[in-house]
Structure 1
Amino acid sequence: MHTDQPQDIAPDALPEVITRYLAAHRDHDTATALSAFHSDATVTDEGKTHRGAPAIETWLNRSSSEYTYTIELTSAQKVDTDHYVATHHLEGNFPGGVVDLHYRFTLDGGLIENLVIEP
């Protein structure tokens, strides 16, 4: 349990592994995005959890082709040395058309161990 209050940080102050993942995901570069994760990492998106590199690769490929949208990193927070939140504003042809999503990262050993994407 985290008792620290998240601190607002500049988006470019996010750890390199997070910015590498975010840029690769935005550019539909699955191999680079996948390299940011532990081999046994988990990603939870739209209420579904994807565990391990093969499942995350499938999720990355599906999420990049399912809808067309713009994504803008609007804010970032540091909870502690291993926990960060990156907030993105998305607009596109998905249900609802506009959403702000919080990407909640847990890092371990310089790689992403867990990512939860939720409004």
Structure 2
Amino acid sequence: MTHTSDPHTDQLPAAISGFLAASVVHDADAAEAFLADDVVVVDKGEPFRGLQEVHAFVRDAGAEFDYTTEQVGAHRVDDEHWVVVLRLEGSFPGGVAELDYRFTLRDARVSELVIANHGA
């Protein structure tokens, strides 16, 4: 797996860039450092609540596939909300996906992440 950043990656809050870097390589322990205790991650409509469930999600999500991840966009909605667009290419069904990672921050940590198809 590889991760390619766009020029704006250095402008992301540390909690977001750190979480993304750790999650791309399924390093749940490193990702956990950027999460609020009551974090919620929603992927494909399924919620993962709290550090234990999100830890397992980061460790296991997509691990059965080989794929590359490229950040193709990012923008700040307001002080607490950011959207990062990732393009995945690999051995999963469909082979290509663009996903919006919609982050909510609280106290410099990720408190919520909703992963959805880009533009949905």
**Matches of residues 24-43 of structure 1 in structure 2 within 5 Å?**
24-43=22-41
Separation in structure 2 between the aligned mates of residue 49 and residue 37 of structure 1, nearest angstrom: 15
Give the Cα–Cα distance (whole angstroms) in 2 for the partners of residues 27 and 58 of structure 1.
13
String of CA shifts for 1:27-85, please: whole Å, max 9, x gaps.
22211111111111100011100000011011111115222110001110100010000
Query: Residue 85 of structure 2 corresponds to which residue in structure 1?
Result: 87
- Indicate the residue corresponding to 1:4 in structure 2: none
Stretch moving more, 107-116 or 56-65: 56-65
**Aligned mates of 2:45, 2:67 — CA distance in 1:** 20
Is residue 70 from structure 1 mapped to residue 102 from structure 2 by the alignment? no
Q: Tell me which residue corresponds to 1:96.
A: 94
Query: Of 39, 42, 63, which aligns to 1:44?
Result: 42
TM-score, normalising length from structure 2? 0.87
Measure the CA separation in 1 of the matches of 2:36 and 2:25: 20
Q: In structure 2, what is the Cα distance between the partners aligned to 1:100 and 1:54?
A: 27
- Tell me what 2:10 maps to: 12
1:93 shift after superposition: 1.1
Q: How many equivalent residue pairs? A: 111
Match of 2:105 in 1: 107
Partners of 1:65 and 1:34 lie apart in 2 by 17
Distance between the aligned counterparts of 1:100 and 1:47, measured in 2?
16
Displacement of 1:19 after TM fit?
Answer: 0.4
Q: 1:89 is matched by which residue type in structure 2? A: R
Q: Is the 8 A contact 1:11 1:86 kept in 2?
A: no
User: 2:93 aligns to what SS in structure 1?
Assistant: coil
Question: Among 111, 114, 117, which residue is 2:115 paired with?
Answer: 117
Runs of 4+ deviating beyond 4 Å:
none
For 1:67-109, what per-residue CA distance to the aligned partner results, in whole angstroms no more than 9, with x for missing partners?
2110001110100010000000000111111010000000000
